[in-house]
């Protein structure tokens, strides 16, 4: 029997995994969730000896049950290959008593590659399985990293087009250069005057616009999403937590059944939700520590039970976490209210109408494995400097938020449970902020000079993703108002 997916907002929606991936978002505006959590079939001792690709198959086959073994293994083989600069795919590095799970060894040097390397294969396989003949248009809002990773994944994939909206003044210079130099006739990159939430809200609105859907369908197009609202993003992200546990077992850091805590620098709540799914599959995870930057809406939520986005949006040195509406929290809320779609839908309506909602005591109790913390800009910079000076290891700004949160609020109380900190980006992607944190004398250098300096002090290879953009020509220069997103989509598709 196939595992079916339902919507967080209406109990009567039921689709297969491949249909959920193809659609991206449920037609009622909700997110697709599995009807139950499958359990991990491989035993924990077996994990210790498994490669990343083997672990990926063991995890993903439990969720994507309508894919055949051949289909899934082929998707995995094509995704996790030498696009990654290490055979381990997601290596664990110990520094200063914690384990950094390096999720940035893919083509665009951020953790989004972990899922977006495989999503195009899962999506095109899903299209075949469901006899979808229309061209799939991937609509994406990005806070900086999803955009490039999705572009790299979907560029020149037959039967697909991809449109990325990013906040014009809300991404790092390297992030922007990576996106606007993207090749591929099926790609479109557009800056908007607004922040990430504006981009994400605009994309969600396009998804639920029935008139637009009908018009584009008659022209042979259908929309899907590469954002972490797509379950096809979430499932591949469960894999690396399971893999990390296997590595800690094989190193002897853990004995079978011992818990590990995870610390995740969080924006849209996709990465940490994947850890929660891993835990529900039976992986021994203790605490799920949700680390925020100064946009600490999630910290306040875990502290008080009130989610309140009515506050100023702050641009920080960790732009991929500059988010006030964390889409994937909806999946946790749904779970916490006992899979009551109507109750979840009511809370989400409050969020849209008033910008806030409050959970009940029983819901808070269902989320008790989560803890929140946040780091200010000063704390983040100090953490980069501290880890570099004490260990010679250079963190990017996002990872530093998580590392700071862990060391200031949780390390002492950990009772010896090892911590795995999700290391979500290469420091090369945020070289200016990283180098300024280490020494203020770097502030006057240009972006590429800083990258060369970082190479000298860290002793790590400059990633291909950086070398590529040094001289690449700008191919996308459209910037629009946030009200013009629909017109921009039509211009690209119907030209």
Ligand X SMILES: *Cc1c(COP(=O)(O)O)cnc(C)c1O
Give me the helix-helix angle, 329-336 and 270-280, nearest 10°.
40
Q: Which of 270, 373, 418, 463 binds ligand X (CB under 6 A)?
A: 270
Q: Which of 166, 245, 269, 276 binds ligand X (CB under 6 A)?
A: 269
Phi, psi at residue 314, to the nearest 5°?
A: -110, 130
Question: Does 320 sit near ligand X (CB under 6 A)?
Answer: yes
Distance between CA 468 and CA 428 in Å, rounded?
Answer: 13
Least gap, CB of 264 to ligand X (angstroms): 7
Q: Which of 24, 30, 265, 463 binds ligand X (CB under 6 A)?
A: 265
Indicate the residue among 16 and 230 with the shorter CB distance to ligand X: 230
Mark residues 179-218: x for contact with ligand X by CB under 6 A, - for none.
----------------------------------------
Question: Does 225 sit near ligand X (CB under 6 A)?
Answer: no
Question: Does 30 sit near ligand X (CB under 6 A)?
Answer: no
Least gap, CB of 215 to ligand X (angstroms): 31
Indicate the residue among 236 and 270 with the shorter CB distance to ligand X: 270
Considering only 24-32, 262-270, 409-417, 457-465, which stretch makes contact with ligand X by CB under 6 A? 262-270
SS3 of the chain: helix, strand, coil, percent, to 5: 50, 15, 35
Residues numbered 365-404 forming contacts with ligand X, rule: CB under 6 A = 398
Distance between CA 374 and CA 298 in Å, rounded?
Answer: 9
Question: Does 271 sit near ligand X (CB under 6 A)?
Answer: yes
HSE-CB for 140 with a 13 A CA cutoff: 32
- Asked if residues 184 and 151 have their Cβ atoms less than 8 Å apart, the reply is yes
Q: Which of 110, 278, 289, 400 binds ligand X (CB under 6 A)?
A: 110
Q: List, as one string, the DSSP characters of 102-145.
A: E---STTSBTHHHHHTTHHHHHHHHHHHTT--SEEEEEEE-SSH
Question: Does 267 sit near ligand X (CB under 6 A)?
Answer: yes
- Asked if residues 98 and 82 have their Cβ atoms less than 8 Å apart, the reply is no
Distance between CA 312 and CA 462 in Å, rounded?
Answer: 36
Residues numbered 413-472 forming contacts with ligand X, rule: CB under 6 A = 424-425
Distance between CA 495 and CA 481 in Å, rounded?
Answer: 20
Indicate the residue among 16 and 227 with the shorter CB distance to ligand X: 227
Q: Which of 112, 287, 407, 432 binds ligand X (CB under 6 A)?
A: 112
Least gap, CB of 423 to ligand X (angstroms): 9
What are the residues facing 160 on neighbouring strands? Answer: 136
Considering only 261-269, 280-288, 329-337, 474-482, which stretch makes contact with ligand X by CB under 6 A? 261-269
Question: Does 140 sit near ligand X (CB under 6 A)?
Answer: no
Q: How far is CA 247 from CA 44, 68, 243, 265, 375, in A?
A: 11, 28, 6, 21, 29
Q: Which of 476, 481, 453, 395 is nearest to 181 (CA)?
A: 476
Indicate the residue among 132 and 322 with the shorter CB distance to ligand X: 322
Distance between CA 452 and CA 387 in Å, rounded?
Answer: 20
Q: Which of 55, 268, 293, 433 binds ligand X (CB under 6 A)?
A: 268
Question: Does 246 sit near ligand X (CB under 6 A)?
Answer: no
Indicate the residue among 261 and 424 with the shorter CB distance to ligand X: 424
Residues numbered 50-89 forming contacts with ligand X, rule: CB under 6 A = none
Q: By CB under 6 A, how many residues form the interface with ligand X?
A: 17
Least gap, CB of 270 to ligand X (angstroms): 3
Query: What stretch of H or E contains 54?
Result: helix 52-63
Q: How far is CA 317 from CA 193, 282, 396, 407, 425, in A?
A: 19, 35, 10, 19, 13
Least gap, CB of 393 to ligand X (angstroms): 17
Question: Does 228 sit near ligand X (CB under 6 A)?
Answer: yes
3-state secondary structure of 478: strand
Q: Which of 125, 266, 295, 344 binds ligand X (CB under 6 A)?
A: 266
HSE-CB for 115 with a 13 A CA cutoff: 26
Q: Name the residues that contact ligand X, by CB under 6 A.
A: 110-112, 145, 228, 265-271, 320-321, 398, 424-425
């Amino acid at each position: 029997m196939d595992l079916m997916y339902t919507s967080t907002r209406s109990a009567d929606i039921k689709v297969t995994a491949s249909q959920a991936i193809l659609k991206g978002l449920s037609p009622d505006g909700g997110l697709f969730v599995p009807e139950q959590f499958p359990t991990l079939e491989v035993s924990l001792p077996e994990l210790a000896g498994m490669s990343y690709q083997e672990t990926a198959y063991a995890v993903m086959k439990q969720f994507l049950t309508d894919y055949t073994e051949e289909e899934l293994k082929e998707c995995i083989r094509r995704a996790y290959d030498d696009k990654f600069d290490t055979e381990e795919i997601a290596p664990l590095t110990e520094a200063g008593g914690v384990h950094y799970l390096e999720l940035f060894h893919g083509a665009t040097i951020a953790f989004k590659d972990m899922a977006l390397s495989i999503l195009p294969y899962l999506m095109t396989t899903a299209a075949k399985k469901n006899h979808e003949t229309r061209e799939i248009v991937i609509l994406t809002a990005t806070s900086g990293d999803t955009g490039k990773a999705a572009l790299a994944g979907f560029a020149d994939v037959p039967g697909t087009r991809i449109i990325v909206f990013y906040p014009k003044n809300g991404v790092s210079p390297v992030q922007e250069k990576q996106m606007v130099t993207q090749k591929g006739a099926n790609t479109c990159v557009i800056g908007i005057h607004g922040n990430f939430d504006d981009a994400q809200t605009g994309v969600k609105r396009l998804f639920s616009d029935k008139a637009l859907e009908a018009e584009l369908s008659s022209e042979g197009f259908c929309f899907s999403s590469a954002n972490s609202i797509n379950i096809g993003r979430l499932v591949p992200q469960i894999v690396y937590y399971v893999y990390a546990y296997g590595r800690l077992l094989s190193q002897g850091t853990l004995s079978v059944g011992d818990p590990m805590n995870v610390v995740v620098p969080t924006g849209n709540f996709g990465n940490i939700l994947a850890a929660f799914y891993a835990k529900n599959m039976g992986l021994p995870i203790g605490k799920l520590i949700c680390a925020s930057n100064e946009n600490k809406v999630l910290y306040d939520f875990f502290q008080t039970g009130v989610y309140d986005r009515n506050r100023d949006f702050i641009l920080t040195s960790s732009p991929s976490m500059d988010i006030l509406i964390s889409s994937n929290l909806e999946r946790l809320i749904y779970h916490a209210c006992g899979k009551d779609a109507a109750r979840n839908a009511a809370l989400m309506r409050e969020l849209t109408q008033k910008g806030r909602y409050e959970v009940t005591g029983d819901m808070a109790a269902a989320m008790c494995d989560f803890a929140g913390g946040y780091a200010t800009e000063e704390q983040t910079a100090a953490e980069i400097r501290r880890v570099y000076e004490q260990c010679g290891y250079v963190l990017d700004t996002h990872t530093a938020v998580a590392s700071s949160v862990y060391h200031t609020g949780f390390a002492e109380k950990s009772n010896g449970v090892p911590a795995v900190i999700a290391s979500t980006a290469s420091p090369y992607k945020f070289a200016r902020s990283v180098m300024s944190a280490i020494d203020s004398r770097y502030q006057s250098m240009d972006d590429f000079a800083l990258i060369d300096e970082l190479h000298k002090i860290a002793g790590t290879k400059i990633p291909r993703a950086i070398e590529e953009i040094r001289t690449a020509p700008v191919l996308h220069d459209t910037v629009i108002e946030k009200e013009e997103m629909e017109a921009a989509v039509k211009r690209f598709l119907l030209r």
